[in-house]
A and B are shown apart, each in its own frame.
Chain A
Amino acid sequence: MFTAALASPLFLGAKMRTEKTIEAEIARTPNSKAKAFLKGTLAMMPLTIAVIPWGILAGSFAIEVGLTPIESQAMSAIIFAGAAQLVALGMVKAGIGLWSILITTLLITSRHLLYAMAMRSQISPLSLKWRLTLGFLLTDELFAIANQGKLHKFDPWYALGGGLSFYLGWNLATLLGIIAGNAIDNLGELGLDFAIAATFIALVVPTVKKPSILVCVLVSLTLAVVCAVLDIQAGLLIAALLGMSAGVLYAKVTGEDKPAPKTNTTAIQAEETL
């Protein structure tokens, strides 16, 4: 999966940036940090609100599956990955073993490798404390607000504000779900799971910018539905992997990326060379 890179000019470039960024970080007044933190919190607010029903679902579903309240809260507090948590809970409920759960988690979370790759030039020059914190908080949502491209200067305090407020929102919503799950029966019938569908549709539709992504989505959708109807446990894995492969294959066969050669990769690498 990985290719080791030699110590290239790319890395020297990153090193020079390192010192500059750290200096800028030290020179800032507490006031401007607080301002950036608040700005990040506000930018994240709509997404923090949208995640509430989903968090409630994560908490109540954990209780329904048979986790204790502490375990249920720990999932949101320690793992902090909504999709992976919900899918894992479904698998626990179906009595599926740990290894299958972990492989599925790896697949669900693999998109974060790409987010980290895209933000590497901005976050890797920061101190270990910052890297660990922002790495832990790096969700779809944080990526959406913090990765504004090269035009905007990356501000770690802005990202921290967004990430931390989202983390709090997610955990408070989970707590609500745990309380509700303990108090109300048949919470499942309310249809809170539609929150997942609504959020994911809202996230997926704007990513469909090329025919190959549409192919990927349609293959994944069809296979996931077929697998669910046939009650195949590895449905998510099968559908997602074949969907991704279909997209890549379609792009290769049609030469889709030829006119504007590999937009994604070029953009990410260009940021690295800066």
Chain B
Amino acid sequence: MIWLMIFSMAAVVFISRHLLLEPKLPLRLSKNTQTFLSYSAPAVLTAIFSPIVFVQEGKLDLSLDNSYLICAVVATLLAFVTRNTLLTTVLSMGLFFTIH
């Protein structure tokens, strides 16, 4: 079951990465599809990280005790000001492991 999952997931991931690199495939994404997909990265990444930040033990946690939330706010500010992925990641994680 796990192996089936690994190989089928690998197929889905590889096909989506490789499909449009194939020159013999006369496939092109329509403009509407391209526009829709241009929102995919921010939407998907946000949908993955936001529960980690806002939900602790199944409940919405907006308190100052929520170190995930504090550090996520810091990370957002850092990313906004510096536009530097590494700096943002390292500094906010450093802060997190200090206060968590």
Contacts and interface: CB of A to CB of B under 8 A. Distances in A.
Contact of B13 (A11, A109, A216, A235): A109
Contacts of B23: 14, 18, 124-125
Interface string A1-41: 11111110001001000100000000000000000000000
Interface string A221-261: 10111011101000110011101110110010000000000
A113 interface: yes
A73 B79 CA distance: 32
Contacts of A131: 18, 21-22
A240 B35 contact: no
Given A136-B18, A223-B47, A236-B48, A265 B35 contact: yes
Given A47-B85, A110-B40, A198-B75, A105 B21 contact: no
A168 interface: no
Interface in A174-231: 190-191, 193-208, 212-213, 216-217, 220-221, 223-225, 227-229, 231
Contacts of A86: 48
Given A78-B10, A198-B71, A229-B55, A134 B21 contact: yes
Interface string B9-43: 11011101111111100111111011111111111
A115 to B, nearest CB: 7
Question: Would you call the interface of chain B mostly helix, strand, loop, or mixed?
Answer: helix
A173 interface: no
B28 A4 contact: yes
Nearest to B68: A194
Interface residues of A, number: 105
A263 to B, nearest CB: 9
A116 B44 contact: no
B20 A116 contact: yes
Most buried by B among A74, A83, A200: A200
A225 B33 CA distance: 27
Contacts of A7: 26
A144 B88 CA distance: 16
Contacts of A199: 85, 89
Nearest to B97: A191
B6 A225 contact: no
Contacts of A144: 85
Given A14-B23, A202-B75, A112 B42 contact: no
B64 interface: no
16 contacts: A3-B33, A5-B28, A98-B5, A105-B13, A109-B12, A114-B38, A114-B41, A125-B23, A199-B89, A208-B42, A217-B46, A220-B46, A247-B42, A248-B35, A248-B39, A265-B31
Q: Which 6 A-B pairs have the closest CB atoms?
A: A135-B18, A205-B79, A228-B51, A243-B43, A116-B20, A46-B86
Given A11-B26, A199-B85, 9 more contacts: A18-B23, A49-B86, A53-B93, A111-B41, A123-B21, A197-B52, A204-B46, A217-B46, A244-B40
